């Protein structure tokens, strides 16, 4: 298996690549940096490669720099190689739905899982103490859980799954402690298979649940209050939430470095 990270000489792509490097180390994957020449060449590309190479040597991960003329050529490479994950950085003030290089990759529907890294704080990718995975209710895919687990173990970080349920103000005002306790029990039951997997992997994580009026803002407040270093969020496919889905809000206006995970699902 191979992990690929796009670089263009920017500090954001360098930071994104360091996350990719730690992921590759934990998964035991081959690691490659990729530069697409149709993007504007940066004089800092060589320096960026050397910085990442230094981190790779420290982690004892072999790395290489691959150069392609355009995305089509890179896509041909992906089809021929056993690529597990593609990491790429996105500008801090960029929406996942805006026209961008990242969006071009998404539209090509490459047969690869994609991790889009929104970098808020540079040079923080070599040290992660606390990681959070926000979910709605008990909605959690095995792919997202695997990514969460991989980063938690790679950094030996404390890990939390933060579950939220959106309810009306009237209902929120009437919520009682017994209802909160019963809902948490229900979520634990629905996620019982993940707890079983975690036990086998000796993976410890906390589970916290809250009711809220505004999901995205509630998660951001929780993150700010608890000083997390990295958030893992998942892509959604329900267009009825377009523009207001809490996951999009977390990605478009993040307060910490955030990885937006887009899993490629093969058609059955």
Q: What digits encode the pLDDT tens for the residues 79-101?
A: 888 888 999 998 655 544 445 67
Give the DSSP letter of residue 229: S
* pLDDT > 70: percent of the chain: 86
Q: Which has the higher per-residue pLDDT, 266 or 221?
A: 221
Q: What is the DSSP letter of 82?
A: T
Q: What is the pLDDT of residue 129?
A: 95
Read off the pLDDT band of 242 (50, 70, 90).
Answer: very low
Q: C-alpha distances in angstroms, 251 versus 28, 178, 217, 248, 258?
A: 28, 33, 12, 5, 7
**Which domains occur in the chain, in start order?**
2-118 (3.40.50.620), 130-255 (3.40.50.620)
Average pLDDT, the chain: 86
**Confidence tier at 244 by pLDDT (50, 70, 90):** very low
Q: What is the mean pLDDT of residues 210-219?
A: 87
- Whole-model pTM? 0.89
């Amino acid at each position: 298996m191979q992990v690929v990270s796009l670089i263009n000489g920017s500090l954001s792509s360098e930071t994104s690549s360091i996350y990719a490097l730690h992921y590759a180390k934990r998964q035991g994957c081959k690691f490659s940096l990729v530069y697409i020449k149709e993007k504007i060449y940066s004089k800092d590309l060589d320096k960026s490669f050397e910085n990442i190479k230094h981190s790779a040597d420290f982690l004892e991960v072999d790395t290489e720099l691959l150069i392609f003329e355009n995305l089509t050529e890179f896509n041909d490479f992906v089809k021929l190689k056993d690529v597990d994950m593609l990491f790429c950085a996105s500008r801090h003030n960029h929406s996942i739905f805006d026209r961008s290089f990242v969006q071009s990759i998404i539209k090509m529907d490459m047969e690869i899982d994609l991790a889009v890294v929104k970098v808020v704080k540079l040079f923080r990718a070599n040290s992660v103490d606390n990681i959070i995975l926000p979910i709605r209710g008990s909605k959690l895919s095995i792919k997202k859980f695997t990514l969460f687990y991989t980063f938690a173990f790679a950094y030996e970080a404390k890990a939390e799954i933060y579950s939220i349920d959106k309810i009306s103000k009237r209902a929120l005002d009437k919520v009682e402690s017994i209802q909160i306790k019963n809902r948490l029990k229900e979520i634990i039951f629905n996620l019982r298979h993940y707890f079983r997997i975690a036990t086998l992997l000796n993976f410890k994580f906390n589970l916290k649940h809250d009711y809220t009026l505004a999901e995205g803002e509630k998660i951001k407040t929780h993150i700010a209050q608890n000083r997390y270093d990295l958030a893992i969020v998942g892509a959604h496919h329900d267009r009825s939430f377009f523009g207001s889905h809490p996951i999009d809000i977390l990605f478009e206006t993040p307060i910490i470095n955030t990885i937006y995970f887009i899993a490629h699902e093969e058609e059955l």
